[in-house]
């Protein structure tokens, strides 16, 4: 087998390829664009495009695409071939700088939430040179941002890049105040851990709910679930391990730093974690990872389920967003430093995150809101829908000491006098682990755990980056105007701790009493569902903050509000329609066939001997008959709830009706159907059961 180092990134137009294929002058100029955002001269762009094309064609590519992330959560690509006709009747392969920098896909079918009037159907894509181009199949993929002709973002990358820039600007102001003049750039670094399920493809094909909704809408609990915890970190089965091996190879080919893989808690559940990288690249790579997971699974007769809650009663899938800030010289600003002075800076960045998470709990919750994730947040394996933070014992003790103006007796057992240059040295405590917190400090990074497995990581990071930029801006404004830097700094840190300590919770987030304490005593927000939270996207404080940092315009926020609710409604309506169809055309007929056979058995028995009592058959027929009647009634109830949706006057009202009626009706229908499953002989059941799905891959 080939050594990974020899093929890692072989399909990526990365720095190594640029250096080898561009003149020193062109390379330097491109590097300036990548590192500092300098505008690219069209002459340089032409040269880069030609080099990219030659490199791609030599690797078998025939097409190129501007690869982007519209607001429907998946990636989009429109392929154009490199060919251009030549007068002699043949073709030549061409690719210009203009084509590299800008594309004009007909974008009328992508969601825009009213941003793009239909007469202005075209949008444009713009090259993101900070994320390397790569080859997928026979196509050169160029990572791009996607905007309307008016310049409004129609994608997730544009606001992500803007939020990274906002954070960079504010973090640099803080670093300058601490006398650090050499840092040129502060980057957001992200490592997303991705959870997923693998099931057998033949079984998947037999279930409409999996095919149309990505999750099971029916299914009685299997005799065995995750009770024994014997799957977590267990031996990886041969078919799964063959899948993982090929997935890694595919990911490494396109430069994704796939690093860790293991079985997760639920049967058939697994996780993949890459090595962290710059936020926008991490987002592109995570999209690519999700896409390749599905492609490689298909090759192995498997299906990869990325839905947040594919099976009721066992754990759902999330995505842990590991997040930190790094300077261009490689210093992690969330790493406690060697000197007290560095630690004061560290504490200030820490406080900025604490303040951001408390002030913008709603935005963080909104950033992960989908119909699928609603089924997971608050269920017993996932963090609750309440946002809180875990800091660990040592940091907590330090913050408490500052808050109370008390001496700090930490690991060094030294009294802490207050004042910046006497802040204590402390060791980062990596043994401190809390798995139930939605937002945990884990030594030198924060881990935001509310993301659903199918969420784009862009959404959460846009909000997190912006909120932290806002805290830093407030700090920088005060510190720049301060007469006494150290006192102001100290007071600000203490004020942050005092004002925001309600968001810090070090206990068990899965404990029921926590949600009560959080909402009743601490006044934290508990938005259980997508319709509960999304309207707050347009709250004044949120619009002000996000527009001030130029992350979103007001029109863009309105459009995202519409699209989030629209996606929510569509997802649930598809599920409801699928349930109606499965109940009517598969479940009821199966139960009735069984019922008929049981009834015929009784008749047969009686013809053999008229004194046979046939009590079993009689009882069963009655039970089955009452079940089919209940299923029929519940189906009608659900259909009625769906019909009523047209009465909703706007998308918010529709989403509320779905939350309050349709989802309940779906739940009722499921209960009866699952009961029918347990009463019907297995050979009659029209699709694979939970037991078969969850334990069917070996
Ligand atoms: P765990 O399951 O214990 O949380 P993993 O090793 O599965 O740990 O995942 C940790 C993730 O955090 C990896 O993707 C890793 O690259 C990422 N990570 C580590 N350090 C940082 C950092 N400083 N900034 C951002 N992400 C980081
Ligand atoms: Mg983790």
- The bound ligand whose nearest atom lies closest to the alpha carbon of 320 is 2
260 Cβ inside 6 Å of ligand 1: yes
Domain 4-155 annotated CATH 3.10.20.70: yes
Indicate if the pLDDT at residue 510 is higher than 50: yes
CB 200 within 8 A of CB 301: yes
* Ligand 1 nearest-atom number relative to CA 257: 16
Q: Helices marked H in 443-587 — which ranges?
A: 457-481, 485-500, 512-516, 530-534, 540-548, 554-582
Whether 93 and 56 have beta carbons less than 8 Å apart is answered as: no
CA distances from 484 to 332, 350, 489 (A): 27, 21, 9
Give 175's contacts (C-beta < 8 A, 6+ positions apart). Answer: 183, 186, 327, 345
CA 275 to chain centre: 17
CA of 326 to the centre of ligand 2 (A): 19
User: Nearest ligand to the C-alpha of residue 433?
Assistant: 1
In contact, 99 and 84? CB cutoff 8 Å: no
Per-residue confidence band for 397, with pLDDT thresholds at 50, 70 and 90? confident
**Interval 73-108: pLDDT, tens:** 778 888 889 998 989 999 999 999 999 998 887 767
Ligand nearest to the CA of 325: 1
Using the predicted structure, report yes or no on whether residue 415 has a pLDDT greater than 60: no
Q: Are strands 91-93 and 318-327 parallel, antiparallel or unpaired?
A: unpaired
- Closest atom, ligand 1, to C-alpha of 274: 14
Decide whether any atom of ligand 1 lies within 6 Å of the 193 Cβ: yes
Closest residue (by CA) to atom 14 of ligand 1? 191
Phi, psi of 143 (to 5 degrees): -60, 130
Q: How far apart are CA 502 and CA 320, in angstroms?
A: 23
Fold: same for 163-552 and 567-694: no
Predicted local distance difference test score (pLDDT) of residue 264: 84
Averaged pLDDT, 653-669: 98
Return the SS3 of 364: helix
Tell me the CB-side half-sphere exposure of residue 584, using CA atoms within 13 A: 13
How many angstroms separate the alpha carbon of residue 191 from the centre of ligand 2? 9
Weakest mean pLDDT among 317-326, 399-408, 422-431, 444-453: 422-431
The set of residues, in sequence order, having a beta carbon less than 8 Å from that of 88 and lying 6+ positions away, is none
Q: Determine the distance separating the centroid of ligand 2 and the alpha carbon of 333, expressed in angstroms.
A: 20
Which ligand 1 atom sits closest to the C-alpha of 433?
A: 3
pLDDT exceeds 80 at position 312: yes
Tokens of 476: 């920088």
Q: Which atom of ligand 1 is nearest to the CA of 444?
A: 23
Among residues 659, 626, 547, which one has the least CA distance to residue 163? 547
Is the pLDDT at 387 greater than 80? The verdict is yes
Is the Cβ atom of 322 under 6 angstroms away from ligand 1? yes
The 10 Å Cβ neighbour count of residue 418 is 17
- Distance CA(48)–CA(54), nearest Å, equals 10
- DSSP SS3 for 303: strand
- Biggest alpha carbon distance in the chain? 105
Lowest mean pLDDT among 54-63, 260-269, 528-537: 260-269
Task: With beta carbons less than 8 A apart as the criterion, state whether 467 and 359 touch.
Answer: yes
Task: Note the pLDDT tens digit of each residue in 196-252.
Answer: 999 999 999 999 999 999 999 999 998 887 777 777 777 888 999 999 999 999 999
Cα 44 to Cα 21, 131, 175, 209, 216, distances in angstroms:
13, 18, 34, 51, 52
**Rounded-to-integer distance, Cα 191 and Cα 328, Å:** 18
Pocket-testing residue among 191, 264, 430, ligand 1, by greatest number of atoms within 8 A of Cβ: 191
Nearest CA, atom 17, ligand 1: 191
Q: What is the 3-state secondary structure (H, E, C) of 592-609?
A: HHHHHHHHHHHHHHHHHC
Model confidence, pTM: 0.94
Question: What's the CA gap between 256 and 475, in Å, rounded?
Answer: 36
Å from CA of 178 to ligand 1 middle: 28
**Nearest-atom index, ligand 1, CA of 191:** 14
- Write down the domain spans for the chain: 4-155, 163-552, 567-694
**Rg (alpha carbons) of the chain, rounded to whole number:** 28
Q: Look at residue 649 in the predicted model and tell me its pLDDT.
A: 96
User: In the structure encoding, which two tokens stand for residue 468, read together?
Assistant: 């932290």
- pLDDT band per the 50, 70, 90 thresholds, residue 537: very high
Q: Tell me, which fold does domain 163-552 have in CATH?
A: Creatine Kinase; Chain A, domain 2 (3.30.590)
Atom of ligand 1 nearest to the CA of 334: 23
| Topology of the domain covering 567-694 | 1.20.120
The pick from 195, 269, 276 for probing ligand 1's pocket by mutation, whose C-beta has the most ligand atoms within 8 angstroms, reads 276
Centre of ligand 2 to C-alpha 447, Å, is: 7
H or E element: which one contains 301?
none
Q: Is 109 helix (H, G, I), strand (E, B) or coil?
A: coil
Distance CA 161, CA 551 (A): 8
Contact 231, 240 (CB under 8 A): no
């Amino acid at each position: 087998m080939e050594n990974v180092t020899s093929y890692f990134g072989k399909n990526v137009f990365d720095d190594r390829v640029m250096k080898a294929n561009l003149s020193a002058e062109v390379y330097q100029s491109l590097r300036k664009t990548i590192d500092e955002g300098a505008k690219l001269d069209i002459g340089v762009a032409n040269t880069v495009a030609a080099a990219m094309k030659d490199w791609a064609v030599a690797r078998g590519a025939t097409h190129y695409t501007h690869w982007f992330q519209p607001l429907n959560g998946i990636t989009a690509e429109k392929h154009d071939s490199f060919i251009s006709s030549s007068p002699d009747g043949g073709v030549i392969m061409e690719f210009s700088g203009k084509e590299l920098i800008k594309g004009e896909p007909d974008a009328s079918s992508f969601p825009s939430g009213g941003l793009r009037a239909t007469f202005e159907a075209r949008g444009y894509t713009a090259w993101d040179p900070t994320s390397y181009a790569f080859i997928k199949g026979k196509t050169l993929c160029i990572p791009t941002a996607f905007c309307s002709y008016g310049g409004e973002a129609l994608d997730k990358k544009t606001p992500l890049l803007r939020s990274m820039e906002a954070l960079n600007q504010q973090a640099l102001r803080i670093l300058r105040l601490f006398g650090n003049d050499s840092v040129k750039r502060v980057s957001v670094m992200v490592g997303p851990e991705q959870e997923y399920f693998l099931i057998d493809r033949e079984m998947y094909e037999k279930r409409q709910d999996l095919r149309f909704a990505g999750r099971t809408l029916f299914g009685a609990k299997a005799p065995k679930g995750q009770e024994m915890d014997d799957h977590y970190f267990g031996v990886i089965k041969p078919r799964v391990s063959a899948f993982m091996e090929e997935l890694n190879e595919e990911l490494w080919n396109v430069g994704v730093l796939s690093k860790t893989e293991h079985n997760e808690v639920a049967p058939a559940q697994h996780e993949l974690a890459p090595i962290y990288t710059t936020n926008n690249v991490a987002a592109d790579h995570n999209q690519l990872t999700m896409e390749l997971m599905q492609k490689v699974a298909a090759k192995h007769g498997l299906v990869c389920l990325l839905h947040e809650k594919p099976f009721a009663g066992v754990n759902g899938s999330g995505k842990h967003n590991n997040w930190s800030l790094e300077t261009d010289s490689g210093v992690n600003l969330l790493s406690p430093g060697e000197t007290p002075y560095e630690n004061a800076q560290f504490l200030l960045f820490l406080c900025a995150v604490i303040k951001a998470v408390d002030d913008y709990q709603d935005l963080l919750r909104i950033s992960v809101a989908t119909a699928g994730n609603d089924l997971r947040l608050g269920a017993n394996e996932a963090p609750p829908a309440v946002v809180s933070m875990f800091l660990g014992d040592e940091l907590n003790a330090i913050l408490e000491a500052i808050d109370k103006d008390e001496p700090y007796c930490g690991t060094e057992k030294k009294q802490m006098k207050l004042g910046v240059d006497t802040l204590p040295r402390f060791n980062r405590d990596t043994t401190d682990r809390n798995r139930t917190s939605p937002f945990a400090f884990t030594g030198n990074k924060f881990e935001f755990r509310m993301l659903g497995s199918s969420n784009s990581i862009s959404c959460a990071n846009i909000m997190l980056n912006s909120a932290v930029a806002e805290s830093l801006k407030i700090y920088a404004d005060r510190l720049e105007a301060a007469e006494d830097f150290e006192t102001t700094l100290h007071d600000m840190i203490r004020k942050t701790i005092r004002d925001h300590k309600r968001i810090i919770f070090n206990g068990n987030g899965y404990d029921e009493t926590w949600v009560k304490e959080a909402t009743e005593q601490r006044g934290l927000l508990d938005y259980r569902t997508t319709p509960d939270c999304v309207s707050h996207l347009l709250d004044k404080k949120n619009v002000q903050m996000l527009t001030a940092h130029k992350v979103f315009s007001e029109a863009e926020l309105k459009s995202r509000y519409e699209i989030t609710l629209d996606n929510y409604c569509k997802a649930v309506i598809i599920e409801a329609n699928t349930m109606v169809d499965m109940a009517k055309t598969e479940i009821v007929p199966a139960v009735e066939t069984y019922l008929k056979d049981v009834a015929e058995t009784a008749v047969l028995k009686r013809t053999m001997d008229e004194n046979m009592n046939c009590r079993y058959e009689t009882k069963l027929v009655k039970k089955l008959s009452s079940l089919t009647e209940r299923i029929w009634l519940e189906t009608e109830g659900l259909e009625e709830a769906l019909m009523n949706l047209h009465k909703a006057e706007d998308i918010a009202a529709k989403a509320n009706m779905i939350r309050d009626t349709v989802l309940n009706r779906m739940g009722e229908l499921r209960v009866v159907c699952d009961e029918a499953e347990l009463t019907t002989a297995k050979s009659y059941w029209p699709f694979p059961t939970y037991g078969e799905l969850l334990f069917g891959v070996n």
